[in-house]
Chain A
Amino acid sequence: SQQGEEDPQALSIQEGENATMNCSYKTSINNLQWYRQNSGRGLVHLILIRSNEREKHSGRLRVTLDTSKKSSSLLITASRAADTASYFCATAAYSGAGSYQLTFGKGTKLSVIP
């Protein structure tokens, strides 16, 4: 089952604008990760935020995590055409089968118009 649910499903912005994507989940997590997928480079890890962290930055990316609301957001500042891709949040949680599992949402499709 897919735990993370991204919102919106699709987002279209002009180059230079900021893009914000949200992710909600249902169970307790160890950490939350964001991945990007495009046809050229496959699925690529962007950033990981642990359950005891509230905010993290990496270049033009800013991720927040609110464990009380079971939600996270990914902000991409000063977007570029090359940011056009699908963005997935993935929650790491104990699977009950002896390990932690990464569960992906359905993704947000971002289009950045030059």
Chain B
Amino acid sequence: EAGVAQSPRYKIIEKRQSVAFWCNPISGHATLYWYQQILGQGPKLLIQFQNNGVVDDSQLPKDRFSAERLKGVDSTLKIQPAKLEDSAVYLCASSSDSGLDTYNEQFFGPGTRLTVL
């Protein structure tokens, strides 16, 4: 079974530039998550989709971050404009959960390491 795919793996940008990350979840997984992991900390949930609808985006800084999941499969996360404090690893995960429960494990992609200079 193919895992969660993410690209790019690394990205270096200047502050105030924009950047986009792509995620392809495990086939058949209805729920997709984007996490931000700052060095030395655990992952923090940014947004959760079920199919192509947003379940929870309460921790997404909506003034600069946006995400979409067209057709309920692939997803993109965008930052515009980027700030120095956005330097982190951005992890995408998927699960077979319905979005209303978390009874099952989440499968994580390798992440995109973003450096903002």
- CB-CB under 8 A for A88 and B42, given A97-B56, A100-B101, A101-B48: yes
B105 touches A42 (CB 8 A): no
A100 and chain B: residue at smallest CB distance: B102
In the assembled complex, the Cα of A17 lies from the Cα of B58 at a distance in Å of: 42
How many chain A residues have a CB neighbour from B under 8 Å? 26
In the assembled complex, the Cα of A72 lies from the Cα of B41 at a distance in Å of: 19
B86-101 interface code vs A (CB 8 A; 1 in, 0 out)? 0000010100010111
In the assembled complex, the Cα of A90 lies from the Cα of B111 at a distance in Å of: 18
Residues of B within 8 A of A90 (CB): 42
B26-60 interface code vs A (CB 8 A; 1 in, 0 out)? 00000001000000111111001010000110100
Residues of B within 8 A of A4 (CB): 42
A2 touches B105 (CB 8 A): no
Given contacts A98-B55, A104-B44, A107-B41, 17 further A-B contacts (CB under 8 A): A2-B41, A4-B42, A30-B101, A42-B91, A42-B110, A43-B111, A48-B104, A97-B55, A97-B56, A99-B55, A99-B56, A100-B100, A101-B48, A104-B42, A104-B43, A106-B40, A106-B42
User: Can you show 29 pairs from A to B with CB atoms below 8 A apart?
Assistant: A2-B41, A4-B42, A31-B102, A31-B103, A42-B108, A42-B109, A43-B91, A43-B108, A48-B103, A48-B104, A48-B105, A88-B42, A88-B43, A95-B56, A95-B58, A98-B55, A98-B56, A98-B100, A99-B55, A99-B99, A99-B100, A100-B100, A101-B45, A101-B48, A102-B45, A102-B102, A104-B43, A104-B44, A106-B41
